[in-house]
């Protein structure tokens, strides 16, 4: 099953027998507080207009636990996550389509969580809301409760030790901007740099200027050139496990399975005993 869906494909789906559950996960990494400006308000953006029938999902409250030792966006409590998904109408036997404001990161986090916890049919709207050419709605739907019961996956998730080991035995991609990987700047976390052995692979380079993913063959060529040869175990991290989910999604489009280090750099760098590499070279 393809992990993404085009706007034209989505527009044709409601006419079928199993219309998908639509989840709106608009979110942005905001540095506005430091400048005294208000944070991005995804719920307000949703209220101003969303794809008809879509239910808003709050990334910070429903797709992550509170920030702490596990990073800025640690895994949510699965019971609470399941309750949120059921409130949104998510059922195991009904497809789900997730979208955000176009960046794709938040939608990918929802996609990854649902897939990792056992939902069999989840896709991300390629290009997000800007790609949608149909009408928008300001009505808040009241979906019938779903029956989805999340179960933690047996694979696909890395902790700090597993990520460090994978950087040595396989390939660990760092999905952040190159300057953060190199340690030249670090606007959020305690220190700049990267996990020793990790390979810089900014997720922004997986998409075209309009936010849609590059063709699968181009993505595969990119990742293979960065070390993800067939048979190689692959993992991804970023700042807090959000943009890295977008890279895991890009890898899925390319046909390459990959695990996610959810704690990512926000967890790794919070422990001063963990090694930090700087500069353009992995080590």
SS3 (DSSP) at 174 = strand
Tens of each residue's pLDDT in the chain, 283 residues:
799 999 999 998 765 567 899 999 999 886 544 455 568 899 999 999 999 999 999 999 999 999 999 999 999 999 999 999 999 999 999 999 999 999 999 999 999 999 999 999 999 999 999 999 999 999 999 999 999 999 999 999 999 999 999 999 999 999 999 999 999 999 999 999 999 999 999 999 999 999 999 999 999 999 999 999 999 999 999 999 999 999 999 999 999 999 999 999 999 999 999 999 999 998 8
Dist CA 243 CA 264 (whole Å): 10
User: Is there a contact between 124 and 4 (Cβ–Cβ < 8 Å)?
Assistant: yes
54 catalytic? Reply is no
All domains of the chain in start order, with CATH = 4-131 (3.40.250.10), 157-268 (3.40.250.10)
From residue 77, alpha-carbon distances to 92, 115, 250 in Å are 19, 16, 26
Phi, psi of 60 (to 5 degrees): -65, -30
pLDDT of residue 15: 55
**Residues 238, 249, 251, 258: which is the catalytic one?**
238
């Amino acid at each position: 099953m393809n992990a993404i869906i085009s706007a034209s494909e989505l527009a044709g789906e409601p006419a079928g027998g199993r219309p998908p559950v639509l989840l709106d996960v608009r979110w942005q990494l905001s540095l506005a507080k430091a400048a005294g400006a208000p944070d991005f308000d995804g719920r307000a953006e949703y209220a101003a207009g969303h794809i008809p029938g879509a239910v808003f999902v709050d990334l910070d409250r429903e797709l992550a636990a509170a920030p702490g030792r596990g990073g800025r966006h640690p895994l949510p409590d699965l019971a609470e996550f399941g309750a949120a998904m059921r409130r949104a109408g998510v059922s195991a036997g009904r497809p789900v389509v997730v979208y955000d404001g176009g960046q794709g990161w938040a939608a990918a986090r929802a996609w990854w969580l649902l897939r990792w916890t056992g939902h069999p049919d989840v896709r991300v709207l390629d290009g997000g809301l800007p790609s949608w050419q149909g009408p928008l709605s300001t009505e808040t739907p009241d979906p019938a409760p779903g029956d989805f019961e999340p179960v933690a996956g047996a694979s696909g998730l890395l902790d700090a030790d597993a990520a460090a080991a994978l950087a040595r035995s396989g390939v660990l991609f760092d999905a952040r901007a190159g300057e953060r990987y190199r340690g030249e700047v670090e606007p959020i976390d305690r220190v700049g740099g990267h996990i020793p052995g990790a390979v810089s692979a900014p997720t922004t380079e997986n998409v075209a200027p309009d936010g849609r993913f590059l063709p699968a063959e181009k993505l595969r060529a990119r990742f293979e050139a960065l070390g993800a040869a067939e048979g190689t175990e692959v993992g991804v991290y970023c700042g807090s496990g959000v943009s890295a989910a977008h890279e895991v999604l890009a890898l899925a489009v390319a046909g390459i399975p990959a695990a996610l280090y959810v704690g990512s750099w926000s967890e790794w760098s919070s422990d001063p005993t963990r090694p930090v590499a700087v500069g353009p070279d992995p080590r």
